[in-house]
Amino acid sequence: MNISKFPRIRLAHLPTPLEPLKRLSAFLGGPDIWIKRDDCTGLSTGGNKTRKLEFLMAAALEEDADMVMTQGATQSNHARQTAAAAAKLGLDCHILLEDRTGYNHRDYKFNGNVLLDHLHGATMENRGSGLDMNAELENVAEEYRSKGRKVYSIPGGGSNPVGALGYANCALELLYQFSQTGLRVDHIVHATGSSGTQAGLITGLKAMNANIPLLGIGVRAPREKQEENVCSLAAKTADMLGCSGVVEPCDVVANTDYVGPGYGIPAPDTLEAIDLFAKLEGILLDPVYSAKGGAGLVDLIRKGHFKSGETVVFLHTGGAIGLAGYSHCFDIPK
């Protein structure tokens, strides 16, 4: 698995820290919990999409693009990091934002990630819910191309085989850190949505014969659809890396019990996870991805799925800036 042969631009602060969560582990009374701090990748407050963008933006420059376009939900971490990467590289950025929650709160519509999109100089269009957003993206990209722009379009979440290379590379980084620290890891857990993070990780782990189960906690799609999406993208990523067939369907596992009312809408266990990580470890989770992953981690420990004596690594996908768009969800003294 030779990732170095693919074009890449260094945007992230790597390797990200791997740290023990001693107080949370003691509070839950189960396994030893460690956290992989991909909220610390450095680009515009960080997050997992920066790893993907190292390869995606390099591909854009290889194609001589002068504009990148992408799409996501209103409070999209991916959109914010794409806008920041474009600003750093001197490219224009245009974003399509989909209303997936129906929230009309001012902070949700204009603060958090949306504010940073503006600060990075991106232009934006809004869309209602239920559309094929990647198709919408391509339609708008063609409009710009007809006007002479060289547009490189990036799917939602940066989740295509090029983007997934970032998390195949993260798998190598994790295994090196485990080796250097002498950490024997029994499980890796993370939030999974557009599939690129999970697909890249499982491809890298399987290619390196790591024998560490990977669990994605779903934030949107039903389990069968989520696993199908991840498996399909993992197969394409493995093909690109020259290790076709390394990922089997049984390797791709998603638990979608913690989606709650819907994508981007926090459930009570989402808010509890935010509270626990903030008050016990000084770590901020976001209400859309990492806190739903955290809710799954906490509940599965309480149910005995992850046991005392085991070591679980939780991969933090970032996005805490999105908390500024969700002030209406928290009981904040006036």
H/E segment holding residue 83: helix 77-89
Query: Is the CA virtual torsion 231, 235, 241, 245 positive or negative?
Result: positive
Whether residue 76 lies in the annotated active site:
yes
- CB burial string 245-265: b at 16+ within 10 A, e below: ebbeeebbbbbbebbbeebbb
Give the active site residue among 44, 76, 195, 290. 76
Q: Are strands 92-98 and 67-73 parallel, antiparallel or unpaired?
A: parallel
Residue bearing tokens 């956290």 = 35
Residue bearing tokens 């999406």 = 229
Q: Measuring CA to CA, how many Å separate 331 from each of 294, 300, 334?
A: 20, 26, 9
Asked if 61 and 152 count as a contact pair (C-beta separation under 8 A), the reply is: no
The tally of CA atoms less than 13 A away on the side-chain side of residue 252 is 26
Q: Three-state DSSP class for 45?
A: helix
Q: Rounded to an integer, what distance in angstroms lies between the CA atom of residue 18 and that of residue 103?
A: 35
Which DSSP string do the residues of 298-332 spell out, in sequence order?
HHHHHTTSS-TT-EEEEEE---GGGGGG-GGGS--
Catalytic amino acids? 76
